[in-house]
Structure 1
Amino acid sequence: MLPADHLSRSTVAFPCLKTLSMLNMGMSDKDLDHLLAASPVLETLVLASPVRRFHLRSQSLRSVLVFLVGDFAVVDAPLLERLIFMKPLLNARAARPVTVKIASTTNLHVLGYMEPMFHKLQIDGNIIQPDTVASPSTMVPAVRTLALKVNFCVLEELKMVASLLRCFPNLSTLHIQSVPCDLSETAAAGEHHAQFWREVGPVQCVRSSVKRIVFHKFHGHQNEFEFLKFVARDNANALESLLLVSPKEKLLSEDEVNEMIDKLGCPRFTAWTSKVLQLSPEVENDWSPMKACKLTVSDPFR
């Protein structure tokens, strides 16, 4: 391949290239545009390079994994099925929010990990806010698998979670990874957050389409349970399984989880979990960016 700074000034072409992985390559957004335009059959892209802005235009790309360091926009990618975001190795929560714009994504089936305080989602010109009202212009109906990273101790994040879930009315699988809470805040915030989940309105995908919820790094904190109680109260009619995956440093037994549920004093929630609840310890796996991008892998977040 020619150096990146020659792409825009050359007639370089990659007519047979189907998979491209770029790691730690300095490249401007203009050079990246030229590279994609020169790859007419490219299907899979892994971009782990410091691109400050990426406007995705490709008539062939089906799967994209991006280590986000700047704003991202799907401008014209009609075949895109899978969009996966990884955070770069920096303290992203101290950085400014990254804008993720999604448009022309009628085939987008897989999206994540979205982080409410790190990603600012924009759908067809509408920025999703904590109080965003669901409408056709704020929804992506094609998405079937969604992954979120959430700090359940932070109320603003929970408000965004409720809004984000309303954007994907036909979800089938929901992955949630719990970000470590500040335990000193949990007790004080727990009652307040419980009130929020009691007052939040119905969410269409939770009520009618989600079949599987995988709760990664589940610690058994009160605020994590409050979210699950909301799911139970919202009549998750299609739900077949709720898998709680506890981290290695805090393995939870079935008896411990059942004891926590009993202490919540919510008979309806207890009856609901008895039907769908499963437990699993966190295990080592062979996950990799390239494997996650493979369209033959049905769920890249497992």
Structure 2
Amino acid sequence: MESIEVVNAARLERLIVCEDMNLSGVCTRVKIGNAPKLKLFGYLEPGKHTLEIGDTVIMPGVEASPSMMLTTVKILSLHVCFGVHKDIKMMPAFLGCFPNVESLHITSAKCDQPTDKLNLKFWEDEAGPIVNVLLRIRVMTFREFRGEQYELSFLRYFFKSTYALNQAVISLANPSFTSRSEDEMISSVVNMRIGNFASEFEVLFYVSTGPEGLSRWTFKRGAKFSDDDPFATVKIIPRPGDQTSQACKCHN
């Protein structure tokens, strides 16, 4: 798929781009024109997608203007190779285009040959303050976490920057496909300096038992409108009569 262009879609609420649409290695152009009711958007991949809003191609380092923002989108999903410099340089630019996102879902792609040591300073210098990270995002999920330093650097930046976050859900990659044990992956997050985080929030862990890179996406799930967030792998459900305790419902 070389190009996806939303020209005039007055009733479109969900735009789901399946990774199977891009098998040639060529970047797919995703252009959003008129979509005034778009609420859910994903999976955007910095390494495989070129995002264009209106007549502007989103590039690293370009400050987002109102004409470059999709303010109706509340749920955003990204598929990111955190070990590749050119890919993660696109993340601040992408996030800046969705200032009202409340639920951010990230899948970490496997990186066999990281191109750079991407530490916390990189994120603070490159990304700086992003409005939706600071003030809007209430739920964040991070799938296929392997405990790599470049993943931890992003999580540390995110947790230090967010003021509205209520829950962070971290899905550990199947230990059968990683060099770290379940305990090691969990400890790498727990041992962060929590005192430096901007707000208090709950961190939930669960371990994937599926294949490396997760199971294939099904459009049937995305088209089920009774599910308000088909990208969420875990639902946080308040227990009746208890507003403080919560239960998890996992999705395959």
Mark yes or no: TM-score above 0.5.
yes
Which of the numbers 279, 285, 293 marks the counterpart of 2:205? 279
Alignment of 1:123-142 (within 5 A): 123-142=53-72
Aligned residues of 2:40 and 2:73 also touching (Cα < 8 A): yes
Alignment match, 1:72: 4
Work out which of the residue numbers 205, 209, 219 in structure 1 matches 2:132.
205
Q: Which of the pair is proportionally richer in helix?
A: 1
Quote the offset at 1:275 in angstroms.
3.6
**Cα deviation 1:220-239 (Å, max 9, x = unaligned):** 111111111111222x1110
Bigger Rg, which one: 1
- CA deviation after TM superposition for structure 1 residue 259, in Å: 3.2
- 1:281 alignment partner AA: V
Cα distance per residue 1:97-145 (max 9 Å; x no partner) = 1111101111100000000111100001110001121110110000000
8 A Cα contact 1:246 1:252, kept in partner: no
> 1:83 and 2:11 equivalent?
no
Selected match of 2:169 from 243, 251, 254 = 243
The 8 Å contact of residues 120 and 156 in structure 2, kept in 1 or not, is answered as: no
Letter in 1 for 2:58: I
The answer to whether the 8 A contact 1:176-1:215 is kept is yes
Distance 1:283 1:209, change over 3 A: farther
Q: Deviations over 1:6-48 (max 9, x none)?
A: xxxxxxxxxxxxxxxxxxxxxxxxxxxxxxxxxxxxxxxxxxx
The TM-score normalised by the length of structure 2 is: 0.80
Return the offset for 1:258: 5.3
2:39 to 92, 99, 109: 109
Residue 260 of structure 1 deviates from its aligned partner by 1.8
> 1:91 deviation in Å?
3.8
| Distance change in 2, residues 1:133/1:89 (3 Å) | closer
Give the letter aligned to residue 204 of structure 2.
Q
Question: 1 or 2 for the larger relative contact order (CA 8 Å, sep ≥6)?
Answer: 2
Amino acid in the other structure paired with 1:120 = T
Q: Which structure has greater strand proportion?
A: 2
Counterpart of 1:17 in structure 2 is none
Deviation at 1:177, TM superposition (A): 0.3
Query: Is 1:174 matched with 2:100?
Result: no
Structure 2 CA distance, aligned partners of 1:72 and 1:275?
37
Name the counterpart of 2:151. Answer: 224
What's the secondary structure of 2:114's corresponding residue? helix
Aligned to 2:76: 146
Which runs of no fewer than 5 residues in structure 2 stay unpaired?
233-252
Q: 1:90 to 1:160 in 2, by over 3 A?
A: closer
- Rounded to whole Å, the distance in 2 between the matches of 1:263 and 1:290 is 39
- Gapped runs of 5+ residues in structure 1? 1-68
When the two chains are superposed, the root-mean-square deviation of aligned CA atoms in Å is: 2.4
Residue 152 of structure 1, CA deviation: 0.4
The aligned residue for residue 10 of structure 1 is none
Counterpart contact for 2:84–2:114, Cα < 8 Å = no
